Structure 1
Amino acid sequence: MKDFGVGTYMAAQKKMLSQSHIDARIIWGFDRRYWQLDAFKKFRWCDESHFATCLQRQARIHRRKGYEARNALSKTQFRLKRQNQSVHVYGVIGWNFKGQLHFYTGSGIGGRLVQADYMTILKEIVAPDWDKDCILIEDNDGPHGTKGKGPNKVKALKDLLGIKWEMNPANSPDLNPIETIWRIIKQRLKSRGVIFEEAVLRRAIQEEWDKITLDEINRAISTMPDRVAALNERNGRPIPY
């Protein structure tokens, strides 16, 4: 197979999209089809990420080299989070901005984040560095309080703190540039070899976050117009970002 440019690689992991999610992504992309980079500079993107100690098992596939081939729908793996993820972090990025990395253990089952935990993050991590002219982009996880049209305590706290926010389409990490930053950090952690101790992993994550430059963040954000174009070309289906 090597003679035909086909090798063995780990599958790219994607979330499964229902038709309703695809429809919401189509609308999101259509509304932003004429946006240029300057339109995205007013946003700050946030999300949690999860890291695991020890060796990780991922499905292996045969494909050609290249980013497009890696993200082809027939070469992606739809799966849930791994069970041994033990280090949970929260971060915020924006144009020329990198927030404080926050390690947390949620008070939910298995250390999962709940609304009370997220409210603490908003008050202690997001609000102190908040620019009133910015808009916080969140996903639709329950702790973020973005689901539903009615009021809730998380939305009320954002109003109190002066944090304007918008929700990304459901199951759309490919539309959030902070995922690019998490990917860079995880790739750099792999180069350190297998990490078995949680304390060592936490220090390594912090070190790699500190190494992330504003240029790297700005490059990730500068891909947003291309992401929108790719989303529209694929009619709302996953894009190679």
Structure 2
Amino acid sequence: MSELNLREAAAVALTLLDLTNLRDDCTEADVVALAKRAHTPFGDVAAICIWPRFVAAARRELGADSPIRIATVVNFPSGDEPVADVVAETRRAIADGADEIDLVLPYRALMAGDAAAGEVMVKAVREACPAPVKLKVIIESGELKEKALIRQACDIAIAGGADFVKTSTGKVAVNATLEAADTMLLAIRDSGRNVGFKAAGGIATVNDAVFYLDLADTIRGPDWAIPSTFRFGASGLLDNVLAVLAGSHQPAARGY
């Protein structure tokens, strides 16, 4: 990829980024700093993704009318919490100002043959997310591993009303992969529904992001990857994006 095209990809990636801090030691001060970083000299990221307990602080920092969305996580990261607790946490987060809910599918139950657990969870949380709140369902593809299970998880999420299917929590050994993304994008295409895709975990450079953007172009068509249909969930990607846009990035020796 030429440096010019790399800069173009960086500009696109910036608009698709869910700037994330889901570290266990995250503080309110960290979230305020994250919200400030979401505004860059080259434009804003799509969203910040944070723990539910910090949503109110993020809303105060960003303001009521900010174009930057606030995403938060529920049933996270285990995927094993009771439905009633997850619904209650979802409603609290929305009341505090969350625009998007990233829900972990009960993937361990699915691996054990219990698809109904996922169906019940997604539908219940969907009902707790009034428009225009978006629901992203994390399938934890690196733990599901098998293509058939990844596809089944996506089908459950889409049937239950997900606005996005998301690869990973970022808390397991294997997070986003192109193989999983391929299966997930095909599930979206085959559903016939306007569902988005979010790649999360392990995407640290614009070079990494380009692979996913190219895959989306191939399966869903050119220019499909816009903030309403495509996101990158990452903590470190912004630094590389800004370096590329500022012209201080040294091109990687990876055939681009």
TM-score normalised by L of structure 1: 0.31
The one of the two structures with greater contact order (alpha-carbon pairs below 8 A, sep at least 6) is 1
TM-score normalised by L of structure 2: 0.29
